Amino acid sequence: MIKAALHGKLPELECMEDALTSTVFGRLRYLPPEDVLVPFLEKAVCYSQDRITLKQYLYMHGINLAMYKNVSYYFWTHNQIYGEPDLVLIFNGLSSCIKDLLLLVEAKYKYSKSGTGENDQLMRYYLAINQQINYFRQEAIADFSGIIGPIIYLTELEAATEIGESEEAIKNRVEKELKHPIFHLHWQKLYSVLEGTQINEQYKTVIVQDLLSYLDLTNLREFTGITPPSPNILGIVHSNLPLFFAGPITVTETTGYFQGLPNLNISLEKYCFYRG
Amino acid sequence: MSSKGQEILSVFRYVQQVFRETQRILLKMDSLMGPEWKPVYGNRITKEVTSSLVDPERWLVEAVFRIYESTNPLVNKGLTITFWGDIEEPVITAGMLVYSDIKSRDHWDLWNSWFTWNPYEETKMSLDGQVVKYKPDEGNNINEVKVFSLPLINMENDIDVESKIFRPLEKLKP
């Protein structure tokens, strides 16, 4: 689908967050997590704790995402009570020394939370993973017994207010102390992570290039200057001729609207309308 | 498809590209300003684009604004990016306005503070980032203005946005 989007075959997808989530994370799962996924997620920040990064926060809790070599991706997996978060990631420890870690990612693109107040979306997902995880239909999540980590709210726009409201809702309705604060991650951060990725294998290069092009298409990249106009645009703008001028003006001499009339043998015998 | 037609289309595509890049500046500023500063006008970033047949030049966005307020709503900070008008090149203007009354606050107050009400005529065209400070005339609902401008083309990346716009803006206090 990413190729269809890159070739302009699916313009409607440019505004759809599910397509974005699917395209990006669907591709990232083919790369080792330490290449892109981990450095990307680690850039998430927590507003309620002085913008500490996810990397720093997890480190304080004895967790280093770089230690995980295998990640399972679960898209739109349904919790029978609290709905369907966009993505659940299970980082597999693969050894008895490293416990599995679960992170929930809720993605937004051009829209905000679908549910506030009592029905706050992030509060529901907090409940889903912290209190009712066994109600997920996906067995790997329902049976999860590792570390439940923070929720990551992944957006294009600023989200401090939304996150603040969600955390307040959790404190008022669920528990006074959150197990983990909610982290905010900008889609735009992914572009620089992809650009900085060191890769040698051809297949990885293709994946990264496709993602870079896709993020460019969806304008999810950081500011890198205002592009100056190309010479052909300057030519159009500076032209002395009107924009829609196609060539030399040709003039056709005519004696009337209907060119065929002089050839008709119509003789005038008397005036039709003149009586004088 | 005619080549001339394609060239005309490319002009419009170019303008869209400039707008996309401008959006990135605004989003970067949102991120830098942080949760303490909230946009006064939500996601609205322009006005006075006309839908009237008789004013075709105004079918195109002339400028965009992004104005923030903090816990004290009388103190606003923000920026405007002006693409065309009575200027020699696109301009990015940033500053702080201290209001006596926000009831008659307007989206273009920051731009007007730089371009229209600025008592220092000579500073209007010197886009050097120097902060101009003044108190507007009587009858105006603004008590204090601190504003500066730079050519938009001086913004080459996120670091420029932070160092040339955000950091000086952060230092402005009532």
Q: What's the pLDDT at A8?
A: 64
- Closest partner residue to A243 among B8, B21, B27, by Cβ? B8
Which tens digit of pLDDT belongs to each residue from B85-97? 989 999 999 999 9
Least confident of A11-15, A18-22, A227-231: A11-15
DSSP SS3 for B38: strand
Q: Model confidence over A32-44: pLDDT tens digits?
A: 999 999 999 999 9
Name the least confident of A9-13, A60-64, A248-252. A248-252
- Please count the other Cβ atoms lying within 10 Å of the Cβ belonging to residue A61: 12
Question: pLDDT value at position A275?
Answer: 45
Does the pTM surpass 0.95? The reply is no
pLDDT greater than 80 at residue A124: yes
**Which has more pLDDT, A211 or A97?**
A211
- Mean residue pLDDT across chain A: 85
Please give the residue of chain A at the shortest CA–CA distance from B83. A226
Closest Cβ opposite residue A236 in set B11, B23, B152: B11
Backbone angles phi, psi at B9, to 5 degrees: -60, -40
Closest residue in chain B to residue A192, using alpha carbons only: B158
Using the CB atoms, write b or e for A179-207: b if 16+ within 10 Å: ebbbbbbbbbbbbbbbeebebeeeebeeb
Q: Which range among A116-130, A224-238, B113-127, B136-150 shows the weakest confidence by mean pLDDT? A: A224-238
| Chain A residues in contact with B151 (beta carbon < 8 A) | none
pLDDT digits (tens, 9 = 90+) for A146-205: 999 999 999 999 999 999 999 999 999 999 999 999 999 999 999 999 999 988 899 899
